[in-house]
A and B are shown apart, each in its own frame.
Chain A
Amino acid sequence: MVPFILLILIIGSVLFHLYTPWYSTPIASNWGSIDSTIELTFWMTGIVYILVLGFMTYCVVKFRNTKNRKADYEPESKKAEVILTVLTTIGVAGLLAPGLIVWDDYVSPPEEAMPIEAMGQQWYWNFRLPGEDGILGTTDARNISADNPFGMNENDPNGKDDILIEGDTLHLEHDKPVKFLLRSIDVLHNFYVPQFRAKMDLVPGMVTFYWIKPTVTGNYEILCAELCGVGHHAMRGEVQVDNANDYQDWLNDQLTFEAIQEQAMLDREEKLAFNKSN
């Protein structure tokens, strides 16, 4: 009975893997190399799994206790140990090498990647684009207030043309690499879009990063991937990948930091005037 159940488990697992509806979501970024590395790992580990468990099942059948069976007595076999060590090392190296090559790519954003800030807080996402000058203005957590939710440094000229997207959908342009600069103002979060494959923690007090190149237009959900309090599961956002024209249209509709500040000032003056006249 035991070997039967073992066989069912092994075969069942293989079948499950081959026919599972739950496998990677369709990829929408340049990180197909990650998927390839995963597939390579599946092949290697899958073969090892089947061979090792298959051999174990065989042993359970062949060497089952019978009346006259006597076990072998062999404390050591240097040959077996050496062969197994060498094979395992080769296998492991075969996984590590491609993995590190892809990792090297992951930590080396291309020069032309546009920096986009993703700012996380409990429990929603804000974004900031660098605007015309291509440079994000500096910020400080201590500047954060109701009027200045991003904590922009008012003195920094680079920040004036930054485009602020508060709690709304981030749009990306198809086929243009972006480098996400990740900033949190309260606790650890993690900016994760399954279809992009990439993710990185947001750490308050520092700026982290990762880069992607979106390759498929569409709408994608952002999932926070680092426990950040009771609202962790509800900290969602949306990323929309547009073609060049749609992206430009969207961009034109966005307000810069300067424009928002002017609007706020106008609102205040209007209110003051209204109060005065009453």
Chain B
Amino acid sequence: MSIFSILSQKPWTSDQAKIDDKHSGKSSSMPLPRVALYVSMIVMGVLFTLFSVAYIGRMAYGDWRVLPEPPLLWFNSLVILMSSFAFHKATLSLKENNNRRTREYLFLAGALTLGFITGQLFVWRELVSFGYFVSTNPSYAFFYLLTALHILHLLGGLIAWLFVVYKSFTAEDESSNFRLSVNLCAIYWHFLLIVWLILFTMLLLT
């Protein structure tokens, strides 16, 4: 049912009324937390897109200086990729009903994420020690701003991760609530991975 077909309905006719009377009241059969995550991801996507647009627009000006790429950034990218992979393995373990394995992968994902964040902070430290401050130049300013924003969203994800890990100890094996939480966490992590890859590519190319 597309938005166009919905908007074309004539709710006052008796034919339409017969169909409508049976409607459940939900536009989607997805559970609420999933809908919430998707809507949130859209909003976050808009946010990152706007920052990127500002970045690209700013690039056009004459005083753009290219930031050096510390090799640590590449290593960090690998780390976050692995954390996404760990989440993926966690969801697979869930499907096999192996809750212990799931828990282990969750811990691994969390640890790798912390590793990524630490790594990013080290990159900042390295750049500052070479004299690349946030106020020196717009391209540096954007770099710090964009990476900071990404880290903040990861931290938010880690809060959710804490809840999920807690549930992994207390929830019953067949609890669908727990399954949903792990799946949604994984989706969010993949989302932030994609955001990072796009940001990283953008920073690399300029």
Taking the complex as a whole, does A directly touch B, i.e. does some CB pair lie under 8 Å apart? yes
Residues of A at the B interface (CB closer than 8 Å) are 75-76
| Cα–Cα distance between A75 and B10 once the two chains are bound (Å) | 9
CB of B12 within 8 Å of the partner chain = yes
| Cα–Cα distance between A116 and B75 once the two chains are bound (Å) | 56
Which residues of chain B have C-beta atoms less than 8 A from A76's C-beta?
10
Q: How many A-B residue pairs have CB under 8 A?
A: 3
Which residues of chain B have C-beta atoms less than 8 A from A75's C-beta?
10, 12
Residues of B at the A interface (CB closer than 8 Å) are 10, 12
- 3 A-B pairs closest in CB distance: A75-B12, A76-B10, A75-B10
Which residues of chain A have C-beta atoms less than 8 A from B10's C-beta?
75-76
| Cα–Cα distance between A75 and B14 once the two chains are bound (Å) | 13
Q: Report the nearest B residue to A205, measured CB to CB.
A: B61
Which residues of chain A have C-beta atoms less than 8 A from B12's C-beta?
75
Shortest distance in angstroms between A19's beta carbon and chain B's nearest beta carbon?
A: 47
| Cα–Cα distance between A81 and B10 once the two chains are bound (Å) | 15
Shortest distance in angstroms between A75's beta carbon and chain B's nearest beta carbon?
A: 5
| Cα–Cα distance between A76 and B10 once the two chains are bound (Å) | 9
Shortest distance in angstroms between B134's beta carbon and chain A's nearest beta carbon?
A: 20
Shortest distance in angstroms between B54's beta carbon and chain A's nearest beta carbon?
A: 16
Q: Report the nearest B residue to A73, measured CB to CB.
A: B12
Shortest distance in angstroms between B88's beta carbon and chain A's nearest beta carbon?
A: 48
| Cα–Cα distance between A75 and B12 once the two chains are bound (Å) | 7
Q: Report the nearest B residue to A75, measured CB to CB.
A: B12
Residue contacts A-B, CB under 8 angstroms, 3 given:
A75-B10, A75-B12, A76-B10
| Cα–Cα distance between A76 and B11 once the two chains are bound (Å) | 11
| Cα–Cα distance between A75 and B16 once the two chains are bound (Å) | 14
| Cα–Cα distance between A230 and B12 once the two chains are bound (Å) | 59
Shortest distance in angstroms between B164's beta carbon and chain A's nearest beta carbon?
A: 49
| Cα–Cα distance between A75 and B9 once the two chains are bound (Å) | 12
| Cα–Cα distance between A173 and B12 once the two chains are bound (Å) | 70
| Cα–Cα distance between A43 and B10 once the two chains are bound (Å) | 38
Shortest distance in angstroms between B201's beta carbon and chain A's nearest beta carbon?
A: 29
| Cα–Cα distance between A113 and B12 once the two chains are bound (Å) | 64
Q: Report the nearest A residue to B13, measured CB to CB.
A: A75
| Cα–Cα distance between A78 and B10 once the two chains are bound (Å) | 12
Shortest distance in angstroms between A144's beta carbon and chain B's nearest beta carbon?
A: 19
